Structure 1
């Protein structure tokens, strides 16, 4: 078997947090008078929150608070919603156990800040599961740049070619493939048939479909 480690994305893969990111953006940006629709928030899926806020500021500048403060408000709201609703994705525990059966090292690589990563670990009692937890929030370059995945592989001590990334978004998939990792995509149902996911090594409709045989075939 070539694979020695599995690196999980978080938002949209481990936890169904995308609706909460959308809700938080709508709430905070509309309070600033920024015209924003839910479709706008859907189109930025996988992007880092500071990049999203900067794009809105470029189109509709505001003066009341800084862009950093806006980011903090959005993140705090998402953390609150995740802790309140605990939106675990179907098959997460199954996928973790499947990786553990093969003795894979486990890592987590997310564009979200460490505050949300920690809240997720706490909310779902995932302590001790992921040897490495890497945030791309403070990196110079975010997904689709491979830096966050390269950092995770480096921290695990495993070459990227021997790591598999589990992702839900095309932005994240690009990051994983740019890092020269294997990549399993688990897109949301409405995007499942999109042709661009062909660059993944495997496509699943749920983490519950992950199997030992599939991982050994990579």
Structure 2
């Protein structure tokens, strides 16, 4: 029996290491899948907003004849935002920043559209416009919630792949740190509303 004891110990250590490394990998895979799901929810919220924009623009166009440049900006911002795609399994900070900038352009253009609309009392009272405006506000809240949940999914993943000794094996299996959503530059300043 003593003759086999070193082999039993070596086999036991190998099995323990295998189970431990398998656990690191499997946990990283599960956390990465959570991030993928959360990212899908973010994109769904952005798609909802993108789908609402043509309806809003057509409603505004139908009721008021005002600056075409504002409508063109909204349409172009929407088109630019739909061009940028991000692979949730391999989100790089550069891709992430490009995606955020495109979505910020949509938000900015929509803001200018809604400010311009304030000049037209008959449009502000139009039920279709009010419903679309409510839908856009609801969509923006959904985007905020989806972004928050995405960040909540990224945190445990990043903790898992960055802590020692997991970081030694996570890199070997191709798991890298993921980027968080961050506020746009200047977003910390309170917006000024003028009537």
| Coarse TM-score class (shorter-chain normalised) | 0.3 to 0.5
Q: TM-score, structure 1 length as denominator?
A: 0.31
More strand by share: 1
More helix by share: 2
Higher relative contact order (CA 8 A, sep 6+): 2
Q: TM-score, structure 2 length as denominator?
A: 0.34
Q: Which one has a bigger Cα radius of gyration?
A: 2
